[in-house]
Amino acid sequence: QVQLVESGGGSVQSGGSLRLSCTASGLTHSRYCMGWFRQVPGKEREGVAAVGSDRSISYADSVQGRFTISQDNAKNMYLQMDDLKPEDTAIYYCAALTVQPWSVLVCSSSFRPSYWGQGTQVTVSS
């Protein structure tokens, strides 16, 4: 069973930076997507960034050039968020999708996860 735990959320002023971490356990599959999603109350959850088991990386247009996704050898995942804006305020979720070795895998920032973390709040004030 895959378990994902986020950390690193908090409050920051506009233009500031935060780094989110996602600790992954049970992710033994060789082919997967991992990514970050965010949600504001009353709105749909949106994909922010994703990294594939082939090291492919995808970003939503709204964060391109400001956010950087990365992953270490233990499959823990990170999101470095720079030049934060008030509209980045949301609950951020770590997510993962695993597939069989023979399955097609397209790891875009809007992939459909099978596993979710509990979320961490990010608040950016103007």
> pLDDT by residue (tens digit) across 65-122?
999 999 998 889 999 999 999 999 999 999 999 998 888 888 999 999 999 999 999 9
Residue 77's contacts (CB-CB under 8 Å, 6 or more residues apart) are 21, 22, 24, 34, 35, 36, 51, 69, 70, 71, 94
User: How distant is the alpha carbon of residue 46 from its chain centre?
Assistant: 10
81: which strand partners?
A: 18, 67
Residue 105 confidence (pLDDT): 86
Look at residue 3 and tell me whether its pLDDT is greater than 90: yes
Would you tell me how many other CB atoms lie within 10 Å of the CB of residue 104? 6
Place of tokens 């895998």: 105
Look at residue 63 and tell me whether its pLDDT is greater than 90: yes
